[in-house]
Amino acid sequence: MDTQKERKKKEDKWFLENEKEFLEQLRKKREARIKEALAHEDKKKQEELKKTHWMCCPKCGHAMKSQDYKGIEVDVCTLCEGVYFDRGELEGLLDREYEARRSFFFDLLGLS
């Protein structure tokens, strides 16, 4: 009987000494699970938003179509005819000579 009490005392002492470390490990694991769940949730929300808004006009919400104009792909709304450039496309156009830029816009607007 005394050995059980002594063993219990040793166990309690060991847990008291190591409890802080165990709690810290559990806290880190819990935080990692929460962070992973939030990242997954954010990624899921971003994918849903992309699916909802993909190739929709930011002005009127109607469908857009991609068109190639002189080597630059632009997105044009099928209703309001708004023209939208993706990152880098406008810079690519601005790098061209003045006459090339001018003819690009005239062609794009149907003025040529």
Q: What is the pLDDT of residue 78?
A: 94
Is 44 contained in some domain?
yes
Domain count, the chain: 2
Is 31 contained in some domain?
yes
Average pLDDT, the chain: 83
Contact of 67 with 76, CB cutoff 8 Å: yes
Residue 19 half-sphere exposure toward CB, CA atoms < 13 A? 7
Cα–Cα distance measured from residue 76 to residue 66, given in angstroms and rounded to the nearest whole number:
6
Is 59 contained in some domain?
no
What sign has the CA pseudo-torsion 92, 98, 99, 102? positive
Say what the pTM is. 0.49
pLDDT tens for each residue of 20-70:
888 889 889 989 998 898 888 888 888 887 888 889 998 998 999 998 877
pLDDT tens for each residue of 56-106:
998 998 999 998 877 888 899 999 989 888 887 877 777 777 777 777 777
Shared domain for 44 and 69, answered yes or no, is no
Q: What is the pLDDT of residue 24?
A: 87
Q: What is the pLDDT of residue 64?
A: 94
Shared domain for 46 and 73, answered yes or no, is no
Q: 3-class DSSP state for residue 56?
A: strand
Q: 3-class DSSP state for residue 70?
A: coil
